[in-house]
Chain A
Amino acid sequence: MSRVEHLDEIVEAFGPHLHDAPHDGWRADRVIDRVVPTHCPYCGVQCGMNLLVEQNHVVGIEPRYDFPVNEGRLCPKGVTAYLQVHHPDRLLHPLVKRNGRFERASWDAALDLVVSKFHELQAAHGKDSIGVYSGSSLTTEKTYLMGKFARAGLGTRYVDYNGRLCMVSAAAANNKAFGIDRAANPWSDIPLAEVLLIAGSNCAETFPVLNKFLWQQRDNGGRWIIVDPRETPTARQGDLHLQLRPGTDVALANGMLHVLIEENLIDQNFIDSRTNDWLSTRELALRYTPEHAAQICGVPPEKIVAAARLYGRAKTAVVMHARGIEHHSNGVNNVLSYINLVLATGKIGAPGRGYGTITGQGNGQGGREHGQKADQLPGQRSITNPEHRKHVCKVWGLPEEELPQAGVSVVEMFTKMGEGEIRGLLSICNNVMVSLPDINQIRRSLEDLDFYVCIDFFMSEGARYADVVLPGSAWSEDEGVTCNSEGRVVKINKANDPPGEARADWWIVQEIARRMGRGKYFSFNSPREIFDELRVASRGGNADYYGITWEKIEQNNGIFWPCPSEDHPGTPRLFEDRFYHADGKARFHPIEFNPPKEIPDEEFPLILTSGRVVYQYLSGNQTRRIGFLVEQCPEPYVEVHPETALKLKINDGERVRVVSRRGEGVFPVLVVRTIRPDTIFIPYHWGEQLAVNQLTNPVLDPISKIPEFKACAARIEKTHSRQLPILGKQRKGASASEVRRG
């Protein structure tokens, strides 16, 4: 029997339904009780916003002009974010599944059921039979709590988080090259750069407000080099658009390094005094002539030369990248090959000279610092390091032998579920049936579980598979900190109480631990108490929060970590005098090009890449319920170049079947000249039959364990469907025939 027998009933009860107005409609006669300054729940820019509160209801937003990162700016997701708070789909009480149907339960009954199942499974199969899968849209306090809950509460080694599907390749590469995992520069350095090199980031759609800094740089006379297989709205404005074949970044970066060396655009003093392992990297790069690189990556050699000269000759430059280069089985190597460019030219550690990944989730940075990663303890400490284990056990008061060893990444956890090693799962802040690769396999793993409990505030596609769903809090219903993509720790403030019987997430998790008999490690009365313990736990680690207090954050519009003492101002720019390896030096890594694991062949001749649209956030569990956003982009589509469309005899708007070795899905076609002819693109925010992750390749990067979302082999088949697509604003606007009259 399947875990989701009555899908229609679940959808009818819990949505997604569209909701598009404040809880009591659009009114001009409001009396606002409170204006709560806080930050957006969505991406890693963490824009400041003011929530307008009337009688414990969030009824609108007002721009927060005084927050320096965005100065009032917001994207459409941010403007409409408050509409999720009182959404009719909100989960209002605990749900327990009986005979395939969710039934209302009391908190006591639901929590006792969870605890008895966990006890039962652990007694029969050992502590490690329960897995914990967390996320980075939680506040840092909650992410800290999730790591502690898994290790000290459940005693399981298996804990991981959804950053594993995000920027973890960048994290691993940053640790290898610099000895620390954080963007090196504050964004205020961007306008100071003569040249920006942006690789694999459609930041116009995924970090819209970051574009403020890009345009300030452009207004100062700056230039953009954009590396992307698609002409995104960012690439459209690039001075140089390197439209490479997906997954060939190493060849491109090595080709650029070759030119930098040949034309002596490197900084030998910097290389000699502040780096290691240059010679082997130099030797390797010399083999990648622009012609050789061009053959691999599909970018003309002249453009590679021009890009290298532009970057190399600039006195100041910033390199940024995002998921486009990180979501690969060579993700870490892709990142390292761009870091080689930064180190070879010494363009780091000074105003306008910098580097950084653009972390995706709201707390994508903070969520990977304090111990919810499979191999990590608070403060970016390592669970395999005896000194680190000792420090954290001392803070927690936990006997060292009780602290589990390292676990595995989330995709590997799902493999272990299929194999029966993990039999119970607790998930919070993720949507496994949308965001994991090859969801048909994920579904089988969920079906194999003995027990699945999900904490969420909406019924996500993944939560439908749960035995127990516990109603958690939306972002406006709790307080705590997040860390944005530049390393700035900001404070989320509470605007309203959770609706119905929904509770703050930290209370739920702590209550499970307490009922498991582990209450002595979980006696927090508020998020502030969690933060105060986190400060001590992170003390002395790379991500040192000891000197950060909530008050200090509010007074300074955020504090950049590391911040080791209360009188320390924080560290906006890293690497000014030293890197974080023991010898204070950065490391080059000679990187040989390897293609993505699956390359096109006769059967599957196209490269399928996936990504995002500006109107949806991650797995869409929040944004696919908001009318305005859904109206703009109601369903996924497949972008196809006109040459390819002609070859396949398919028309714009036609529904086609896209097939890979793992699965297939039917999508309407958007025929656009803005993509490479050998590549097709599908946005990923949808589940079930609309999921591009029915097709994606679950192969992992050997170091970061990130899945290869950005390149697999696929083919397009005609369906002869007469069903009309509903592409929303993606297709609105004049068509070519309409414009070109007269």
Chain B
Amino acid sequence: MEETMFIDPQRCIGCRACVAACRECATHKGYPMIFVDYIDRAETTATMPTVCMHCKEPTCALVCPADAIKMTDDGVVMSALKPRCLDCRNCVNACPFGVPKYNSQMHLQMKCDMCYDRSSEGLKPMCASVCPTGAISFGKYEQIVPLRRTKPVNVHVFGNQKVETKVYLMLPADADEVKVDGCGVFEGMLTRADVSVPTEESWIDTQVEQSDKSNEF
């Protein structure tokens, strides 16, 4: 299988090395095209990186009136072609992942192109190169699966729209798809009815219970 990206939010430490490195890719001209957001800083330090998921049928390209958004043969969705981009921002509004941004200085839609100048020459994209924890990884499906306890998933259900992507999200081992309702992004909508991810509290309970019953404390 070809190389692609794997996004594992639980490993993200929010350092934004990926954002800084994205600017360094020669064709990005100093503009980062990856985003790292706090989920809810008041409650947790958890953060989430967002790259282009490189859909197999990209919504951004489907809604483009100028046919400016092209895919490479190996499934990488590129930024809008400069001579064609109409500045209409249909793609910005339509992308279910909220990825493309309109760059008013360049008069152009710009988005993650998986550092195509690098990845087409066998180099890893900048973000996946620098990510300290492996929250963003680049490689082959069959290489990453034996290394991780999480499972790569690339099917996303947005209401009635089912989107298959080149990029994978790393999810708990029994997840097959990501379900998102049209309004609340990811909020409690993961299909995990039967999944019980051990929380810190229950883990401690188990530890203490499993310990010798003669515990004198």
Contacts and interface: CB of A to CB of B under 8 A. Distances in A.
B133 A75 contact: no
A74 B136 CA distance: 13
B198 to A, nearest CB: 9
| Residue from B11, B148, B203, B217 with most neighbouring chain A CB atoms (10 Å) | B217
Given A80-B20, A236-B46, A26 B15 contact: no
A263 B17 CA distance: 44
Nearest to A209: B132
A632 B29 CA distance: 20
A65 B19 CA distance: 19
Interface stretch (B63-71, B83-91, B204-212): B204-212
Interface string B174-203: 000000010110010000000000001001
Interface stretch (A121-129, A488-496, A732-740): A732-740
Contacts of A205: 13, 15
Interface in A55-83: 60-61, 63, 65, 72-76, 78-80
A570 interface: no
Interface in A486-520: none
Nearest to A207: B132
B216 interface: yes
Given A211-B13, A219-B147, A652-B42, 11 more contacts: A28-B29, A75-B15, A204-B133, A214-B133, A215-B134, A306-B207, A306-B211, A614-B16, A673-B44, A731-B41, A735-B42
Contacts of A73: 17, 129-132
B21 A672 contact: no
A63 B40 contact: no
A302 interface: yes
Nearest to A203: B13
B74 interface: no
Query: B-side binding surface: helix, strand, loop or mixed?
Result: loop
Interface stretch (A146-154, A178-186, A237-245): A237-245
Interface string A275-306: 00000000000000111000000000111011
A76 B34 CA distance: 13
B43 interface: yes
A76 B41 contact: no
Nearest to B128: A72
10 contacts: A63-B126, A74-B21, A74-B130, A75-B130, A79-B17, A231-B44, A305-B208, A306-B204, A306-B208, A734-B40
A74 B148 CA distance: 21
A291 B132 contact: no
B24 interface: yes
A736 B212 contact: no
A26 B147 contact: no
Given A204-B15, A614-B13, A673-B42, A733 B130 contact: no
B72 interface: no
Contact of B17 (A76, A214, A310): A76
Nearest to A306: B207
B107 interface: no
Contacts of A239: 200, 203
B200 A241 contact: yes
Contacts of A76: 15-17, 19-20
B190 to A, nearest CB: 14
Query: Which has the most chain B C-beta neighbours within 10 Å: A215, A628, A674?
Result: A215
Contact of B27 (A28, A240, A291, A736): A28
A312 B204 CA distance: 15
Given A28-B27, A233-B14, A262-B216, A212 B20 contact: no
B39 interface: yes
A741 interface: yes
Contact of A734 (B13, B37, B148): B37
A579 to B, nearest CB: 33
Q: How large is the interface on B (under 10, 10 to 19, 20 to 34, 35 or more residues)?
A: 35 or more
Nearest to B32: A628
Contacts of B17: 73-76, 78-79, 208
Contacts of A209: 132
A289 B187 CA distance: 43
Contacts of B37: 732-734
A614 B14 CA distance: 9
A735 B15 contact: no
Interface string B139-164: 00000000111000000000000000
A233 B13 contact: yes
Interface in A545-565: none
Given A236-B46, A289-B217, A736 B40 contact: yes
B130 A63 contact: yes
Nearest to A212: B132
A306 B209 CA distance: 10
A671 interface: yes
A480 interface: no
Interface in A205-240: 205, 208-212, 214-215, 219, 221, 231-234, 236-240
A65 B129 contact: yes
Contact of B43 (A78, A204, A289, A736): A736
Nearest to B150: A219
Nearest to B48: A733
B26 interface: yes
A159 interface: no
A315 interface: no
A25 B26 CA distance: 12
Given A79-B20, A208-B17, A742 B181 contact: yes
A78 B10 CA distance: 23
Contacts of B30: 21, 25-26
A729 interface: yes
A672 B41 contact: yes
